[in-house]
Amino acid sequence: MNTISKHGLVIIGGGGAGLTAALAAKKTSFETDITLITKDCLSYSPCALPFVISREIEDFGKISKGLEDICKMSGIKYVFGEAVSIDVKNKTVKTKHTEIPYGRLIIATGGNPSIPPIKGAHLRNVYTLHRIEDAQKISEATKDAKHAVVVGGGPIGLEAAAAFRELGIKVALVEGLEYVLCRLFDPDYCQLIEKKLEEKGIELVKGKNVEEIVGADKVMAVKVAGREIPADIVVLSTGVRPGIKIVENTGIEVSGGGIKTDEYTETNVKGIYAAGDCTITKSVLTGKHMPSLLGTTAIRQGTVAGINAAGGHAVFDGVLGSTILKIFDLEVGRCGLTEKEAKAEGIETVTGRVKSTTTAEYYPKGKWLELKLLFEAKDGKIIGAQVVGGGGVAGKINLLTFAISRKATVEDLVRLEYCYTPPLAPSHNPIVLAAENAYRKMKRTREKEKR
Ligand SMILES: Cc1cc2nc3c(=O)[nH]c(=O)nc-3n(C[C@H](O)[C@H](O)[C@H](O)COP(=O)(O)OP(=O)(O)OC[C@H]3O[C@@H](n4cnc5c(N)ncnc54)[C@H](O)[C@@H]3O)c2cc1C
């Protein structure tokens, strides 16, 4: 095991990636001298914020803990403040008040909301939903709001829209592209999700961009295609950019908007690692690099960075974009490539589809479930999955992510052994049924080719 020099390990950022890295480093080598520099005094999962706004989680106290206390309990030094620069040559990190030497460094500065240049975006009651402070302000504003407009139909936009609707607020969701969640799902699955949003009373305004946010001091409306949609609250959910300001002029390589790392999460500068939303990650399937912006990636990368920076050995293989969401009572999930993405990569595919149920068909509390699997036509390898329905989506996405990462084929999934009991799962597993559907299509094609 390599030992760290006398100045120990310094970590910038105490979010999912930074704190996980600190704890992983401690577990790897208890003697490691760790200093965590962070602008935040609370540790929380941003993923929980929409559910506090909707009041499904009682209050913000339930999702947050004092970061200083966590550090104290774990033997980690905690420095509250903003790291403003890194001196790679002299191996120091400067905050506004102090300069901290490091032996190894982990950058885990997260991301920042990307706000489009819309007139009126500065008005009162126009928010982004990124940090706990944003959610606290939004939550306060919902108390006397009747109309909300959410701009952006990605996962956070949908969760915000659903949260407002749960509170009885009239909601319009504006998405510039043709479908909501269209970067994650194919149009057929986007439509299933949109149906649920509309059923619950969310107005979808698609294929149109916001022209202006209208108001005097406070927001009053959002102008889209000449129409003014009333708004007491606006949430701009228009993307997140990796937070890379700290690495400007350091020589640490940035590519595609985020910090570039290798399979050990090390940057091009030896001894400096990076993890979480500030990085770009490699797609396991295409080998292309892009920001992942998922809490799961932050935790996986943070773990690898912490172990390696503390002298251990761990590898980060890349991502398959495994994502799940709960929109009202609808669960949705995906992993790997969509049909659209596969086509753009020039991959010929065969799909397997099934309409199934979450329990045995006759069981009273069963709910519907639709599942689509995507296989490479040339060798039958699974490369993507989409699932929408009333339950059990997370387990299926986890299994299918593993199947993709292990290069499982359609034959492997047709032969899958699974569990069954009427109240929990149908006797015919939907993954097997969808694989059989694809298998039959492949067989027919092969037979046609032989003739
Ligand atoms: C509303 C919402 C819902 C989400 N839902 C999900 C979900 O369901 N599933 C999922 O997988 N992901 C979800 N995500 C994404 C997930 O939360 C992020 O990917 C994850 O939090 C990234 O972790 P991180 O540590 O890289 O960044 P962050 O959590 O942003 O932490 C970065 C930390 O670094 C600090 N910092 C930044 N710069 C400096 C500096 N210069 N000096 C000191 N400190 C600094 C910041 O203050 C912050 O505390 C959601 C995100 C949001 C906003």
pLDDT per residue over 285-300, tens digit each? 999 999 999 999 999 9
pLDDT per residue over 23-75, tens digit each? 999 999 999 999 999 999 999 999 999 999 999 999 999 999 999 999 999 99
State the average pLDDT over residues 202-212.
97
The CATH topology of domain 323-443 is FAD/NAD(P)-binding domain (3.50.50)
Report in angstroms the alpha-carbon separations of 109 from 82, 203, 244: 10, 36, 7
Contact criterion met (CB below 8 Å) for 152 and 40: no
Contact criterion met (CB below 8 Å) for 117 and 225: no
Contact criterion met (CB below 8 Å) for 280 and 256: yes
Report in angstroms the alpha-carbon separations of 27 from 110, 303, 374: 23, 10, 39
Residue 451: pLDDT band with limits 50, 70, 90: confident
Exposed e or buried b per residue across 381-393, where buried means at least 16 C-beta atoms within 10 angstroms of its C-beta: bbbbbbbbbbbbb
Q: Which residues pair with 28 in a beta bridge?
A: none
Report percent pLDDT > 70 for the chain. 98
Q: Which residues pair with 206 in a beta bridge?
A: 175
pLDDT per residue over 356-375, tens digit each? 999 999 999 899 999 999 99
φ/ψ of residue 320, rounded to 5:
-120, 10
Which ligand 1 atom is the nearest neighbour of the CA of 294? 19
Q: Which residues pair with 92 in a beta bridge?
A: 87, 101
Q: What is the pLDDT of residue 441?
A: 97
Cα of 110 to ligand 1 centre, how many Å? 5
Amino acid making up residue 127: Y
Contact criterion met (CB below 8 Å) for 345 and 286: yes
Q: Which residues pair with 355 in a beta bridge?
A: 370
Domain 115-238 has what CATH class? alpha beta
Q: What is the pLDDT of residue 89?
A: 96
CA atoms within a 13 Å half-sphere pointing along the CA-CB vector of 224: 22
Ligand 1 close to Cβ of residue 239 (< 6 A): no
Contacts of 99 by beta carbon, 8 Å cutoff, 6+ apart? 92, 93
For residue 131, pLDDT beyond 70: yes
φ/ψ of residue 123, rounded to 5:
-65, 155
Q: Which residue among the candidates 41, 47, 71, 335 is catalytic per the annotation?
A: 47
Pocket test for ligand 1, best of 37, 47, 324 (most atoms within 8 A of CB): 47
Contact criterion met (CB below 8 Å) for 153 and 193: no
State the average pLDDT over residues 121-144.
97
pLDDT per residue over 219-261, tens digit each? 999 999 999 999 999 999 999 999 999 999 999 999 999 999 9
The CATH topology of domain 2-112+241-309 is FAD/NAD(P)-binding domain (3.50.50)
For residue 326, pLDDT beyond 50: yes
> Tokens representing 8?
């120990």
Cα–Cα distance for residue pair 206/194, rounded to 1 Å: 11
Pocket test for ligand 1, best of 85, 95, 109 (most atoms within 8 A of CB): 109
For residue 1, pLDDT beyond 70: no
Count CB neighbours of 297 within 10 A.
23
Report in angstroms the alpha-carbon separations of 420 from 322, 364, 426, 428, 431: 25, 16, 6, 8, 13
For residue 275, pLDDT beyond 60: yes
Report in angstroms the alpha-carbon separations of 352 from 1, 91, 122, 430, 437: 47, 54, 47, 10, 5
The three-point CA angle 406-408-412 to 5° equals: 140
Cα–Cα distance for residue pair 89/101, rounded to 1 Å: 11
Going by the DSSP 8-state scheme, the letter that residue 421 receives in this structure is B
Contact criterion met (CB below 8 Å) for 373 and 438: yes
Ligand 1 close to Cβ of residue 93 (< 6 A): no
Contacts of 155 by beta carbon, 8 Å cutoff, 6+ apart? 181, 184, 323, 325
Q: What is the pLDDT of residue 5?
A: 56
Contact criterion met (CB below 8 Å) for 190 and 177: no
Widest distance between CA atoms in the chain:
78
> Tokens representing 181?
């969640």
Ligand 1 close to Cβ of residue 324 (< 6 A): no
Cα of 49 to ligand 1 centre, how many Å? 12
Contact criterion met (CB below 8 Å) for 278 and 259: yes
Q: Do domains 115-238 and 323-443 have the same CATH topology?
A: yes
pLDDT per residue over 146-177, tens digit each? 999 999 999 999 999 999 999 999 999 999 99
Cα–Cα distance for residue pair 243/278, rounded to 1 Å: 5
φ/ψ of residue 327, rounded to 5:
-115, 110
Pocket test for ligand 1, best of 12, 68, 277 (most atoms within 8 A of CB): 277
Cα of 47 to ligand 1 centre, how many Å? 9
Ligand 1 close to Cβ of residue 17 (< 6 A): yes
Q: Whose CA is nearest to atom 41 of ligand 1?
A: 83
Q: Any catalytic annotation for residue 419? A: no
For residue 17, pLDDT beyond 70: yes
Q: What is the pLDDT of residue 421?
A: 97
Ligand 1 close to Cβ of residue 298 (< 6 A): yes
pLDDT per residue over 402-449, tens digit each? 999 999 999 999 999 999 999 999 999 999 999 999 999 999 998 888
Cα–Cα distance for residue pair 277/316, rounded to 1 Å: 15
Decide which of 6 and 186 is more confident: 186
For residue 325, pLDDT beyond 70: yes
SS3 134: helix
Domain boundaries, the chain: 2-112+241-309, 115-238, 323-443
For residue 4, pLDDT beyond 90: no
For residue 450, pLDDT beyond 90: no
Contact criterion met (CB below 8 Å) for 163 and 50: yes
CB-count exposure of residue 169 (10 Å: 0-12, 13-18, 19+): middle
Q: Whose CA is nearest to atom 50 of ligand 1?
A: 47
Cα of 230 to ligand 1 centre, how many Å? 31
Residue 88: pLDDT band with limits 50, 70, 90: very high
